[in-house]
C-alpha cells in the first residue's frame, strides 16, 4: 500500500498542508505541540477507522471551522504493477460540510460519499502511538483489543462473530446480576435461560479463540524475530496466548462453572477473560520490562502486525510511527531506521538528527505549517 499524496485542510491545528511522501521513509520533525501527531492521525483516518487517540470527530476539525477535508491519492500493490498511473483518489470530510449530518464521509474516485467506515480494508495501515505502550503494562483488555482490532481488519466476518458474542455476554451478565429468583422467574427458568445463552457463547467464543490462536501463530514468531533483531539478541521475547480452555472445550467449561457464576453474579469464563502473555527472558514483561524494553516489545508486535497482514492479505500496510525513537538506545534506533526503509513508513520525531542522514523525505511541522526540508 502506498500513499502518493495528501492534502489537509482545517484539520486540528493544520489550516492547510500538502504532503508528498517518499516511496519508503517520510519524516515529520518539529517541536512539541506543533502538529506532527495530527498529520499522522490524518493519514490514519484514510483507513476508515476512528482516530487512534480516541475522542470525538468534532475535535478533529480546526477550532472555528465547520469541517475538515483530507484529499489523498493511494495505490495498492497490485495497481502499482498494473496501472500505476491511475491511483485511487479519496476525499474525506469531517464535520458538517453542508450542515447535513455531522460525521466522517469519504468519496472514492468521484463516487457519492459514504460513511468513512466503508473505506475499511482499502487503505491498510498500522500505527504505533505512545499510548500503545499500555499493551505491555496495562490490563488484559488492551491486549485483547489489539488482537481483535487486527482480526477485524483481516477477516470481515470476525466483527459479526465478536458482536454476537458480546451481545450474548451482556444478556448473560444482566441475568446473573439479578441473581435472586422471583416467583415470576423461578430458578429453573433462570438456569434454562442461562443454558441457552451459554450455547451461543460457546459457539461464538470458540470461533473467537480459534481466530486469535491462528493469528498468534503467525504474529508470535514474527514479533519475537523482530525483538531479537531490535535488541541485537540482548533479551528474548516470547508471546503466549493465555487460554482458559482448549479448542472445543468452552461448552464444558461453561457448564462446569455455572454454579460459580451464579454465586458470583457475573460471567467468569470465555475469551473475554483470556489474555496475551508477553515475556522477556521468560519473565512477564508487564512486571519486569524497562521503559525501552516495553517500547521494543510494542514495536516488535506492531511491525509483526504489519508483516502478518501482508502475508494474509497480500497488501503491506503503511506504517505510522509516532515518536518511536525516544527511549531507545543507538543500536535499536539504527535497526529501526533500516527497517523503515523496507515499506512506506511515516515517522514523527522531535529530534531530527537521527534522520538527517537518511535518504527519506524530511518535513518540518511548525505551528500547523508543514514545510519540506
Ligand atoms: N481542533 C483543533 N483545532 C485547533 N488546534 C488543535 C485542535 N486539536 C488539537 N489542536 C492543537 O494541536 C496541537 C497538538 O498537535 P500534536 O499533538 O500533533 O503535536 P505534536 O507535534 O505531535 O507534539 P509532541 O511532540 O508533543 O507529540 C496542540 O497545540 C493542540 O492545541
Ligand atoms: Mg505528538
* Beta-carbon contacts of residue 262 (< 8 Å; ≥ 6 apart): 176, 179, 191, 194
Cβ 364 vs Cβ 329: under 8 Å:
no
pLDDT of residue 281: 97
Backbone angles phi, psi at 3, to 5 degrees: -95, 120
Ligand 1 pocket, mutate which of 29, 38, 41 (most atoms under 8 A from CB): 38
Which superfamily does 134-286 belong to? RecF/RecN/SMC, N-terminal domain (1.20.1050.90)
**Cell match 539504527: residue?**
334
Rounded-to-integer distance, Cα 299 and Cα 128, Å: 7
Ligand 1 geometric centre to CA of 52 (Å): 14
pLDDT of residue 188: 82
Q: Which of 23, 20, 14 is nearest to 359 (CA)?
A: 23
Q: Considering only CA atoms, which residue is closest to atom 5 of ligand 1?
A: 13
pLDDT of residue 179: 58
* Beta-carbon contacts of residue 76 (< 8 Å; ≥ 6 apart): 1, 88, 315
- Model confidence pLDDT, tens digit, residues 107-165: 999 999 999 999 988 999 999 999 999 999 999 999 999 999 999 989 989 999 999 99
**What ranges do the domains of the chain cover?**
2-124+315-372, 134-286
CB within 5 A of ion ligand 2: which residues? Answer: 37
Report the side by side order of strands in the sheet with 275-280.
237-242, 275-280, 283-284
Do 134-286 and 2-124+315-372 fall under one CATH topology? no
Cβ 17 vs Cβ 8: under 8 Å:
yes
- Element holding 264 (H helix, E strand): helix 258-264
* Beta-carbon contacts of residue 367 (< 8 Å; ≥ 6 apart): 13, 34, 35
Q: Return averaged pLDDT per consecutive 10 residues of the chain, 373 residues in all.
A: 97 98 94 97 96 92 96 94 91 84 92 93 93 95 95 90 98 85 73 94 98 98 97 96 98 96 94 98 96 95 96 95 91 88 91 78 96 94
**Distance of alpha carbon 125 from its chain centroid, rounded?**
9
Site residues for ligand 1, CB cut-off 6 Å: 12-13, 30, 32-38, 59, 61-63, 323, 350, 365
Rounded-to-integer distance, Cα 265 and Cα 275, Å: 22
pLDDT of residue 264: 92
CA contacts within 13 A on the Cβ side of 72: 25
pLDDT of residue 183: 64
Assign a CATH topology to domain 2-124+315-372.
Answer: Rossmann fold (3.40.50)
Ligand 1, residue 35: give the atom nearest the CA: 18
Grid cell, residue 250, equals 468452552
Amino acid at each position: 500500500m502506498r500513499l502518493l499524496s495528501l492534502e489537509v485542510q482545517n484539520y486540528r491545528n493544520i489550516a492547510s498542508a500538502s504532503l508528498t511522501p517518499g516511496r519508503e521513509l517520510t519524516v515529520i520533525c518539529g517541536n512539541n505541540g506543533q502538529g506532527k501527531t495530527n498529520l499522522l492521525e490524518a493519514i490514519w483516518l484514510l483507513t476508515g477507522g476512528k482516530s487512534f487517540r480516541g475522542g470525538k470527530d468534532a475535535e478533529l476539525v480546526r477550532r472555528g471551522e465547520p469541517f475538515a477535508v483530507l484529499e489523498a491519492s493511494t495505490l495498492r500493490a497490485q495497481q502499482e504493477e498494473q496501472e500505476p498511473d491511475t491511483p485511487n483518489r479519496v476525499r474525506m470530510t469531517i464535520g458538517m460540510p453542508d450542515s447535513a449530518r455531522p460525521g466522517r464521509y469519504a468519496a472514492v474516485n468521484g463516487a457519492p460519499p459514504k460513511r468513512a467506515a466503508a473505506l475499511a480494508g482499502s487503505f491498510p495501515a498500522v500505527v504505533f502511538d505512545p499510548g500503545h505502550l499500555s499493551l505491555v503494562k496495562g490490563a488484559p483488555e488492551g491486549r485483547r483489543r489489539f488482537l481483535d482490532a487486527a482480526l477485524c481488519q483481516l477477516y470481515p466476518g470476525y466483527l459479526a462473530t465478536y458482536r454476537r458474542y458480546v451481545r450474548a455476554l451482556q444478556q448473560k451478565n444482566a441475568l446473573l446480576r439479578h441473581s435472586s429468583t422471583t416467583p415470576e422467574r423461578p430458578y429453573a427458568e433462570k438456569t434454562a435461560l442461562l443454558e441457552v445463552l451459554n450455547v451461543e457463547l460457546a459457539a461464538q467464543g470458540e470461533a473467537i479463540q480459534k481466530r486469535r490462536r491462528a493469528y498468534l501463530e503467525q504474529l508470535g514468531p514474527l514479533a519475537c524475530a523482530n525483538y531479537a533483531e531490535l535488541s541485537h539478541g540482548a533479551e528474548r521475547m516470547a508471546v503466549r496466548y493465555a487460554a482458559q480452555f482448549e479448542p472445543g472445550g468452552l461448552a464444558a467449561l461453561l457448564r462446569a462453572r455455572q454454579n460459580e457464576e451464579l454465586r458470583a453474579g457475573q460471567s467468569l469464563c470465555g475469551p473475554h477473560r483470556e489474555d496475551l502473555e508477553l515475556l522477556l527472558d521468560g519473565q512477564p514483561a508487564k512486571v519486569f520490562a524497562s521503559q525501552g524494553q516495553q517500547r521494543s516489545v510494542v514495536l516488535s508486535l506492531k511491525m509483526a502486525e504489519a508483516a502478518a497482514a501482508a502475508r494474509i492479505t497480500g497488501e503491506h500496510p503503511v506504517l505510522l510511527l509516532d515518536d518511536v525513537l525516544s527511549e531507545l538506545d543507538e543500536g535499536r534506533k539504527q535497526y529501526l531506521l533500516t527497517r523503515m526503509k523496507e515499506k512506506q513508513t511515516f515517522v514523527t520525531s522531535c529530534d531530527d538528527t537521527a534522520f538527517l542522514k537518511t535518504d527519506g523525505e524530511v518535513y518540518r511541522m511548525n505551528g500547523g505549517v508543514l514545510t519540506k526540508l
